[in-house]
Structure 1
Amino acid sequence: MTSFIDSLAASEKAVIVIDIGQAYTKFGFAGSSSPHHIIPTRIIMDGKTKSVFEYNSNSMMSHDDRLTELIRLIFYKYSLINCRDRRIVIVESVITPTRIRHLLADIFLKQFEAISLVFIPSHLSATYTLGRNTALVLDVGYKETQIMPVAEGIPLAIQFDSLPCAGQAIHKQIQFLLDQYASVTYQGKKKLFNETKIKLSEDILEDIKVRCCFISPFDRAQIFTKNKSLEYTSSIDYPFNTDTIIHIPGTIREFACEVLFEQNIDGKSIVTLILDTLLQAPIDLRQQLADHILVIGGTAMMPGFLHRFNAELNHLINQSPYINRLAIKQFKFHSPPGQLNYIAWLGGSIFGALDTLEDQSITRSKYLENGIVPDWFTGESI
């Protein structure tokens, strides 16, 4: 049932805020405290459900068509509103390709006839929820973990860094560990998981991650790494379908997420992203950033994540090469006013309610005249 506030916002043509992520898309009206809808960034393509950003050379539907179809679903299936003569705020990834930004401008300003459009980087947008304009923002999403400091309201893009270590990496680890250690009861008969040749979808792997897994405390993880004896947590039965039950051992539940904190061959992890970024920051800004760390993203909502992350930071700060180069004794984390998976969207909601929105937007008339999408890095036209 549509609420009174939703109806009022729709009737008054409130600003629409959209955050198109790799896995999920969040959208709603500016001034709202949470998105009105969070949907998978997927469409029905060739009779199958496909990610909008999944490359498929055999498909008859181009990437442009897929993105256009997603926008149609947002407005005509979920929101049931007309985009025409509305202002749009797009919360975008720091590394969104220029072609995608131009494509979104074409879709909203030409096809859907929005009155204006503005792009805001997700890291900058997240700082609007803090009531301050300087912070170190770490986004632990689906495909990547991205970090960028924001100083006095200016994203320091030169210090942007990322690692392909996030939610998708956990899914792959769960599938790998299930093949190694799990068993299955199928039609009353028990057998090893790898004997069944079951390949779990991303939706099932995410459901297992959310329902069954958690992040182990630092001390237990250290014991596990050193291969010492450890009393594992209890196993759990996961009903896969009507006649199949997957028996998930405690070792998978507790240590599938360790992939987030493991260092790669270059010695990098999502924890070293924080320390390396502080090393690259100006000396007079380092302590201020360390005192205002904001962690966002759906993967950061895993039970035990922030506690473990802080413990890892305090451990590595006393190790080489950081102990002699960073004079930081502690780290402080902000607790944002909402769930971590939509904090960037919430910042866009706040931004969309400001009086300065109109001055920073690309108007339809101006875009039809010159076809230019300003570059937010420099403030100059592309």
Structure 2
Amino acid sequence: MDPSERPAVVMDNGTGYSKLGFSGNSEPSFTIPTIVAVNESFLDQSEQCSSANWLAQYNAGVMADLDFFIGDEAVSHLRSSGLYSLRTPIRHGQVTDWDTMERFWQQSIFNYLRCNPEEHYFLLTDSPVSTPESRECMGEIMFETFNVPGLYISVQSVLSLSAGYAYLRSLSEEEADSELLQERGELLPPDDALDIARRVKETYCYTSSDIVKEFKKHDSKPSKYIKQWSAVKPKTGVPYTIDIGYERFLGPEIFFNPEMYSEDFFTPLPELIDNCVQSAPIDTRRALYKNIVLSGGSTMFKDFHRRLQNNLKKIVDERVAATNACHHVEVKPVEVNVVTHPIQSYAVWFGGSVAASSPEFFECCHTKEDYEEHGASICRTSTVFKGMY
């Protein structure tokens, strides 16, 4: 069967989670953490073998290539055996470890989606700030390692727009939660720290309307607001318990006060959105403020949309008031509306599913023949087609 007659594979690989599935479906088949557990004993053995003992070195390398797990299976093997360590191939939305990323794709295709990559076109997502060289690496791995017949690489924000949503990117709050816990003296196992932070974030975190009031609430009734997290150290098997206190609201707070997490970031998310809308043509701004739609798992904190709407509304109202006072005119109030929706956590993947279902999709893909003729540079850009909108 012609690969263009089969559904395309859609993979949205994010810093925290990856969504895997086939075009035409309304939701991904799998949503798994973007992590890989590798067997360090084989890697160490491969490095320690002398060049003369090439066969032992080769065998150790082969075993290291075979003995790894991804997603929740990676976490499970990390906890049940001291032989594995976790690796995260994507940091802040960009691939930083291509060998680990290739392993992640291998397991995603063969063990999860259980398909032959030579029989399906592929749609991969990419960060808006990724380099052209990064896309070349994507194309090289897909065409050389997996021998895919066609590949389309799309910017995540474009896919969200094709699903009808505006895509909001942010800092990595899992890392913030981990650092907050460690700074308070909680002894997190290093190999398990980010996974613990991820699970704590999903289970206990919420967005506060007033950070000072939240501190007072926790201080006045610690038994009500402080939660406990119990687990077992992966390598020693020793049980431990950590307290989850201020981190419950301080983790999400980095969206609104990023300077508390890193001195490299000072602009809160509401201000970033306002700057973006203000850079648009003046006759479109009111419509944009009225239709801010959330996308991404980190926007699903309880009351996140309310805090964002209130903070953004305050910025807009202050500008309107200043304009009225300065120019002695009567500018009408601007409506600000932040919309939540059921598929908010996987809007990018859904946009990819919609795009790859379009007849134009296969015409716009880079093919294996194109790659063999022109090289990986063809993957630096992908043609935008009508089906994306």
Find the residue that maps to 1:330 and give its secondary structure.
coil
- The correspondence for 1:115, drawn from 129, 137, 149, is 149
Alpha-carbon offset, residue 21 of structure 1? 1.3
Pairs aligned (count): 317
CA distance in 2, matches of 1:119, 1:311: 36
Residue 215 (structure 1) aligned with residue 207 (structure 2): yes
Find the residue that maps to 2:228 and give its secondary structure.
strand
Alpha-carbon offset, residue 113 of structure 1? 2.0
Residue 246 (structure 1) aligned with residue 246 (structure 2): no
> Which residue does 2:87 correspond to in 1?
50
CA distance in 2, matches of 1:294, 1:300: 10
- The correspondence for 2:28, drawn from 30, 35, 44, is 35
CA distance in 2, matches of 1:378, 1:358: 11
> Which residue does 1:87 correspond to in 2?
121
Contact preservation (8 Å) 1:27, 1:37? yes
> Which residue does 1:185 correspond to in 2?
none
- The correspondence for 1:137, drawn from 167, 182, 200, is 167
> Which residue does 1:173 correspond to in 2?
180
Residue 98 (structure 1) aligned with residue 132 (structure 2): yes
Contact preservation (8 Å) 2:364, 2:382? no
Alpha-carbon offset, residue 169 of structure 1? 2.6
Alpha-carbon offset, residue 19 of structure 1? 0.9
- Comparing 116-125 and 33-42, the one that deviates more: 33-42
CA distance in 2, matches of 1:25, 1:269: 26
Alpha-carbon offset, residue 231 of structure 1? 6.0
| Distance 1:238-1:110 versus aligned 2 partners, 3 A rule | closer
| Distance 1:310-1:174 versus aligned 2 partners, 3 A rule | farther
CA distance in 2, matches of 1:311, 1:106: 46
Alpha-carbon offset, residue 22 of structure 1? 1.8
- The correspondence for 1:373, drawn from 374, 378, 383, is 378
Tell me which structure has the larger Cα radius of gyration. Answer: 2
Contact preservation (8 Å) 1:136, 1:290? no
Contact preservation (8 Å) 1:42, 1:49? yes
CA distance in 1, matches of 2:322, 2:215: 23
5+ residue gaps, structure 2: 41-84, 233-237, 325-330, 385-389
Contact preservation (8 Å) 2:139, 2:379? no
> Which residue does 2:252 correspond to in 1?
257
The letter of the residue matching 1:214 is Y
CA distance in 2, matches of 1:270, 1:167: 17
- The Cα offsets for residues 231-261 of structure 1, whole Å up to 9 and x where unpaired, read as 6652222223374332334x44344432321
Contact preservation (8 Å) 2:366, 2:378? yes
- The Cα offsets for residues 200-221 of structure 1, whole Å up to 9 and x where unpaired, read as 61001111222222112x2x33
| Distance 1:311-1:211 versus aligned 2 partners, 3 A rule | same
Contact preservation (8 Å) 2:320, 2:333? no
- The Cα offsets for residues 130-162 of structure 1, whole Å up to 9 and x where unpaired, read as 2xxxx64313xxxxx1xxxxxxxxxxxxxxxxx
The letter of the residue matching 1:206 is R
Find the residue that maps to 1:237 and give its secondary structure.
strand
CA distance in 1, matches of 2:114, 2:179: 37
| Distance 1:311-1:173 versus aligned 2 partners, 3 A rule | farther
Alpha-carbon offset, residue 83 of structure 1? 0.5
The letter of the residue matching 2:21 is G
CA distance in 2, matches of 1:370, 1:352: 24
> Which residue does 1:281 correspond to in 2?
280
The letter of the residue matching 1:32 is N
CA distance in 2, matches of 1:120, 1:205: 29
CA distance in 2, matches of 1:41, 1:317: 37
CA distance in 2, matches of 1:19, 1:65: 18
CA distance in 2, matches of 1:94, 1:274: 16
| Distance 1:18-1:99 versus aligned 2 partners, 3 A rule | same
CA distance in 2, matches of 1:376, 1:246: 47
- The correspondence for 1:235, drawn from 226, 229, 233, is 226
Percent of aligned positions that are identical: 20
Which protein has the bigger helix share?
Answer: 2
Contact preservation (8 Å) 1:89, 1:348? yes
> Which residue does 2:347 correspond to in 1?
343
> Which residue does 1:333 correspond to in 2?
338
| Distance 1:327-1:69 versus aligned 2 partners, 3 A rule | farther
- The Cα offsets for residues 95-148 of structure 1, whole Å up to 9 and x where unpaired, read as 122222112212222332222111221111012222xxxx64313xxxxx1xxx
| Distance 1:73-1:322 versus aligned 2 partners, 3 A rule | farther
Find the residue that maps to 1:138 and give its secondary structure.
coil
The letter of the residue matching 1:276 is N
CA distance in 2, matches of 1:110, 1:16: 17
Contact preservation (8 Å) 1:75, 1:81? yes
CA distance in 1, matches of 2:258, 2:173: 13
CA distance in 2, matches of 1:208, 1:334: 25
Alpha-carbon offset, residue 323 of structure 1? 5.0
Residue 20 (structure 1) aligned with residue 18 (structure 2): no
| Distance 1:225-1:332 versus aligned 2 partners, 3 A rule | same
Find the residue that maps to 2:154 and give its secondary structure.
strand
TM-score, reference length from structure 2: 0.71
Residue 362 (structure 1) aligned with residue 354 (structure 2): no
Alpha-carbon offset, residue 165 of structure 1? 5.7
Alpha-carbon offset, residue 73 of structure 1? 0.8
Alpha-carbon offset, residue 94 of structure 1? 0.9
TM-score, reference length from structure 1: 0.72
